[in-house]
């Protein structure tokens, strides 16, 4: 137990150190309301934790009714090797914000270390490319036409890599990750347009499952996202699991939104989830909330025995 506390303290301390570095940037990577079931997209160490071939697809439409609002589509697949100490995965993300579009394709690798019986630490790395495009000529600039926007950024490819750690048992998890380490940027010489193509984001996540009765379980969880010199955004979720079949929960976000989530566990292979967010700022009066749908499927033919219910 002392070893686990030491590891947890180190992970939290490392997170606090990296977010204290001063350099002004804003949030750039996509956010998810169902982050507790979509961990692989931002932490490569999660790959292989299902101990089966796992496929997850998620679609998020943010600020519905708002012109050029963000849309995010995520696909992940993971599988353990026969030893189950090595996990492999693939993450695909299409993230559109107005005329700015990012398409990312990353491979994930993790290695599992046994800390004690039933408790494992996975260390992971992801590597791949992001394709960036932005039609600057479609923007309206005030008061006059800005010559910096008189161009089209098309098919710009940038490589990147990330790292992560994921400590877990069948009842709790704690993870830290930096999905993109390289701070890529570029500029168009003809127009003086310059942008940060990819900036570092830091993620600290955690959750615990409590038994409230024989048929009801309670899982509080959190997701902290940080960009250096920008406010840390925290998602706090409280979910209840009924009869190992239905998750129902609520989430609050420090940037000014709250919502609800649910997931139906149809069987040991198939799950379907939905989340809805409402923005509490003035922005909320110009849109109809955020919708997020997730579907996951597991192929268990690699497993040699029936596993316990998976809570994250």
What pLDDT does residue 20 have?
A: 36
- Give the percent of the chain with pLDDT over 70: 73
pLDDT at 307 over 80: no
- The average pLDDT across 100-104 equals 88
Beta bridge pairs of residue 250: 238, 260
- Hey, is 39 helix, strand or coil? helix
CB neighbour list of residue 48: distance below 8 Å, 6 or more residues apart = 78, 79, 80, 81, 84, 86, 87, 88, 89, 110, 112, 122
- Give the pLDDT band of residue 268 (cuts 50, 70, 90): confident
- The average pLDDT across 208-228 equals 95
pLDDT at 12 over 80: no
pLDDT at 76 over 90: yes
**Residue located via tokens 């804003």:** 26
What pLDDT does residue 278 have?
A: 87
pLDDT digits (tens, 9 = 90+) for 162-195: 999 999 999 999 999 999 998 876 665 555 555 5
pLDDT digits (tens, 9 = 90+) for 230-245: 789 999 999 999 999 9
CB neighbour list of residue 150: distance below 8 Å, 6 or more residues apart = 136, 137, 191
Tokens of residue 254, six digits? 């420090």
- In order of 52, 211, 312, the CA distances from 305 in angstroms are 11, 24, 19
Contact 312, 35 (CB under 8 A): no
Report the 10 Å Cβ neighbour count for 102: 22
- The average pLDDT across 41-55 equals 95
What is the C-alpha to C-alpha distance for residues 163 and 312, in angstroms, rounded to an integer?
A: 20
What is the C-alpha to C-alpha distance for residues 127 and 135, in angstroms, rounded to an integer?
A: 27
**What is the radius of gyration, based on Cα positions, of the chain?**
20
pLDDT at 219 over 50: yes
Mean confidence (pLDDT) of the chain: 82
What pLDDT does residue 215 have?
A: 96
- Give the pLDDT band of residue 132 (cuts 50, 70, 90): confident
**Residue located via tokens 């992801």:** 126
Report the 10 Å Cβ neighbour count for 305: 6
Q: What is the pTM of this model?
A: 0.84
Which domains are seen in the chain, by residue range? Answer: 2-302 (2.40.160.40)
């Amino acid at each position: 137990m002392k070893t686990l506390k030491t590891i947890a303290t180190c992970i939290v301390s490392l997170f606090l150190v990296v977010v204290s570095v001063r350099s002004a940037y804003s949030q750039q990577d996509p956010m998810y309301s169902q982050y507790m079931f979509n961990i692989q997209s931002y932490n490569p160490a999660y790959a292989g934790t299902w101990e089966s071939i796992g496929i997850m697809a998620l679609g998020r439409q943010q600020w519905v009714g708002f012109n050029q609002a963000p849309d995010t589509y995520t696909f992940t697949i993971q599988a353990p090797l026969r030893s189950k100490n090595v996990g492999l995965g693939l993450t695909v993300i299409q993230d559109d914000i107005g005329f700015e579009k990012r398409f990312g394709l990353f491979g994930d690798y993790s290695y599992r270390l046994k800390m004690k019986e039933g408790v494992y630490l996975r260390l992971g790395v992801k590597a791949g490319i992001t394709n960036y495009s932005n039609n600057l000529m479609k923007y309206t600039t005030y008061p006059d036409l800005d010559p910096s926007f008189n161009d089209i950024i098309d098919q710009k490819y940038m490589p990147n890599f990330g790292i992560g750690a994921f400590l877990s048992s069948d009842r709790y998890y704690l993870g830290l990750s930096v999905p993109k380490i390289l701070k890529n940027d570029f500029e168009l010489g003809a127009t003086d347009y310059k942008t940060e193509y990819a900036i570092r984001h830091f993620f600290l996540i955690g959750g615990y499952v409590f038994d409230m009765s024989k048929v009801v379980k309670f899982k509080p969880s959190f997701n902290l996202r940080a960009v250096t010199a920008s406010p840390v955004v925290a998602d706090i979720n409280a979910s209840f699991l009924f009869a190992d079949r239905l998750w129902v929960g609520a989430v609050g976000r420090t940037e000014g939104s709250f919502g609800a989530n649910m997931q139906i566990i149809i069987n040991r292979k198939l799950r379907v989830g939905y989340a809805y967010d409402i923005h509490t700022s003035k922005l909320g009066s110009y849109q109809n909330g955020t919708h997020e749908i997730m579907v996951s499927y597991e192929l268990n033919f690699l497993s040699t025995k029936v596993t316990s219910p998976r809570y994250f």
